Chain A
Amino acid sequence: MSEVTPTSHAAREKKPIEILRERVGGASREVVERNRRQMANRRQIMDSLKAAPKTAPEIAKETGLPTHEVFWHLMAMKKYGKVVEGAERGDYFEYALVEMPERKGTES
């Protein structure tokens, strides 16, 4: 599993992640760019939710982001514990930010 290849032997001092970066030539520009965009959109959504719980179309209207993208982010945030589903309004659900006391001030 951890067999020593000639390249890894020569670079013994390097951390495994550094060796992997060299092997694959770093993260692809596309992945880095997509990630940057996602983080920026995520920040906008979180800012919009700070004021009050909102539905996906309401956040989309406020931020100018496409509604399907806002909804996808909300579902990702729900999965990883950043938002919770709130009350049903019309045919939509509201989503609210989860308070994370241990990381106060560091998010967004």
Chain B
Amino acid sequence: MTEIQNSIETDALVIGGGIAGLQAAIDLANMGLRVTVIERQPSIGGKMIGLSKVFPTLDCCSCICTPRMAEAKHHPNITTMTYAEVQHVHRDDSGFLVEVLKKPRYVDEDKCTGCRLCEYACTTEVPHEFEGGLGARKAIYIPFANAVPQVALLDLDNCLLCGRCAKACPTGAIDFLQDPKTIVFRAGAIIVATGYEMLPHNFKENYGAGPLRNVLTALQVERLLAPHGPYGRVLRPSDGRVPQSIGYVQCVGSRDLSRGVAYCSRVCCMYAIKQAMLLSGALPLAEITIYYMDIRAFGKGYEQFYQNAKAMGIQFVKAKVAKIREDEEENPVVRIELLDEDGRVEERQHDMVVLSLGLVPGWNPREAGLGAPSEDGFLRCGHVLSSPTQTAEEGVFVAGCAGGPKDIPDSVVQAGAAALEAAAYLRARGWASAARDGHHRKAALISGD
């Protein structure tokens, strides 16, 4: 049963609480505007909070992302609403009416202290989505170590309905009878920061199609390299062995017309180089080979980063990978065509292979009535040169990968620009910051975050 709340006014609604959405929200809020951030996952932070370190500086991701998450959560002008999805956007004379579905966590967000006693009491373990399935979580769990908010959620699909969590909870926060809620926001402007998804593991059936246990996606390797990762160190999933030979396959899905993904995903060259460097640090004896078509190191400091990787002994082999199979010990074997050796074909065995999968849109704006996306599936933009964050829809702006693949520095720059354009738009339309204190506090109360 869905309960419908009265509409709540906010100056700008940001769809997506990843690094781009949070940056846009913080910039708008610092201009004195009231912002609501809607995030479909149980924590804000997006993809970035799951990464290990960032290129080209090798800064720790958590060290950059966590303060942004905390700032958005505690900013007096920002309301964050997690585990919530935008259902529909209607336009009227004054702005937008946005219907948001708040999914039940079966945990009272005001009462939960994040102590995790429920998690320890629960006896059901399933692969953890946040760890790319490599680690385990319980049926009731805090999304991850530095999640914001630190509030548990119950995965009803995997729950034994034993009630142990409720007995263990010291604050009586478990609410088995929570229902989904629909909340309607009235907003003057919208910033879409819905990010990307990585192509699925089984995207290319001749690259192992998922069942090859030691063929991982680049995002899974981010988790292996992260300080709170699923294994606490780099091990391969089939048997827990320390891998001594790791191969990277570039352009899996990107620039592949046969798969309908014509564009370059822009980040794969650099994240592969970064991971290779981090792996050489974690596994000093390991041999790391990157099979590539061409290396696109276009950003500030990127070419130097690439040259440093070569100097560290990471092997770059210009080759096309036709096929990946595994031998009887589950070692992946890549069949490659060596482009610098007249197309000679050979097979090379590794302990682990990583697929640098391309990026696809995280959300289709048409689902919410926000117009059709462009041919590549990302948000359609209006004037790329004169108004780079304006979409084809008036009053709707774009930040980060929602408009196309981008690295983190570019996403943050675009988020700042989107915030400024949205603020200018609201001012030009004479939008009175209607979501004054009373309204805003009400929004905060209802979101419970």
- List the interface of chain A (C-beta within 8 A of B): 1-3, 5, 8, 15-17, 19-21, 24, 26-28, 31-32, 35, 38-39, 55-57, 60, 67-68, 71-72, 74-76, 78-80, 85, 88, 91-93
> With A16-B166, A16-B177 in contact, is A74–B240 under 8 Å at CB?
yes
A75 touches B230 (CB 8 A): yes
Instruction: Kindly state the separation between the CA atoms of A57 and B238 in the bound complex, as whole angstroms.
Output: 10
Which of B21-29, B34-42, B152-160, B318-326 lies at the interface with chain A? B152-160
Contacts of A68 in B (CB 8 A): 213, 237-239
B161 touches A92 (CB 8 A): no
Contacts of A38 in B (CB 8 A): 125
Instruction: Kindly state the separation between the CA atoms of A79 and B123 in the bound complex, as whole angstroms.
Output: 13
B124 touches A31 (CB 8 A): yes
Contact of A75 among B135, B163, B241 (CB under 8 A): B135
Contact of B176 among A16, A76, A91 (CB under 8 A): A16
Q: What are 30 A-B interface contacts by the 8 Å CB criterion?
A: A1-B108, A1-B175, A1-B178, A2-B175, A2-B177, A3-B179, A15-B163, A16-B175, A16-B177, A17-B176, A19-B177, A20-B161, A20-B176, A26-B161, A28-B157, A31-B159, A38-B125, A67-B239, A68-B237, A68-B239, A71-B238, A72-B127, A72-B237, A76-B136, A78-B232, A91-B241, A92-B240, A92-B241, A93-B240, A93-B242
Question: Nearest 4 pairs between A and B by C-beta?
Answer: A76-B136, A17-B163, A16-B176, A56-B240
Main secondary structure of the interface of A (DSSP, over half): helix
Contacts of B158 in A (CB 8 A): 31
- How distant is A74 from chain B, measured CB to nearest CB, in Å? 7
Contacts of A92 in B (CB 8 A): 239-242
A75 touches B239 (CB 8 A): no
Contacts of B175 in A (CB 8 A): 1-2, 16
Q: Which residue of B lies closest to A20 (CB)?
A: B176
A71 touches B239 (CB 8 A): yes
Contacts of B160 in A (CB 8 A): 27, 31-32, 35
Contacts of B135 in A (CB 8 A): 75-76, 79
Contacts of B238 in A (CB 8 A): 67-68, 71
B176 touches A88 (CB 8 A): no
Contacts of A21 in B (CB 8 A): 161
- How distant is B160 from chain A, measured CB to nearest CB, in Å? 5
Q: Does any Cβ of A come within 8 Å of B231's Cβ?
A: yes
A3 touches B3 (CB 8 A): yes
Q: Does any Cβ of A come within 8 Å of B1's Cβ?
A: yes
- How distant is B63 from chain A, measured CB to nearest CB, in Å? 23
B240 touches A20 (CB 8 A): no
Contacts of B166 in A (CB 8 A): 16-17
Instruction: Kindly state the separation between the CA atoms of A39 and B125 in the bound complex, as whole angstroms.
Output: 10
Instruction: Kindly state the separation between the CA atoms of A3 and B160 in the bound complex, as whole angstroms.
Output: 25
B177 touches A20 (CB 8 A): yes
Contacts of B161 in A (CB 8 A): 17, 20-21, 24, 26-27
Known: A76-B135, A91-B241. 16 other contacts (CB 8 A): A1-B178, A2-B175, A16-B175, A17-B161, A19-B177, A31-B157, A57-B239, A57-B240, A68-B237, A71-B235, A72-B127, A74-B240, A79-B135, A91-B242, A92-B241, A93-B240
Instruction: Kindly state the separation between the CA atoms of A91 and B235 in the bound complex, as whole angstroms.
Output: 9
A71 touches B237 (CB 8 A): yes
Contacts of A60 in B (CB 8 A): 239
- How distant is A13 from chain B, measured CB to nearest CB, in Å? 14
> With A16-B176, A27-B160 in contact, is A5–B232 under 8 Å at CB?
no
Q: Tell me the chain B residues, 243-269 only, with Cβ under 8 Å from chain A.
A: 244
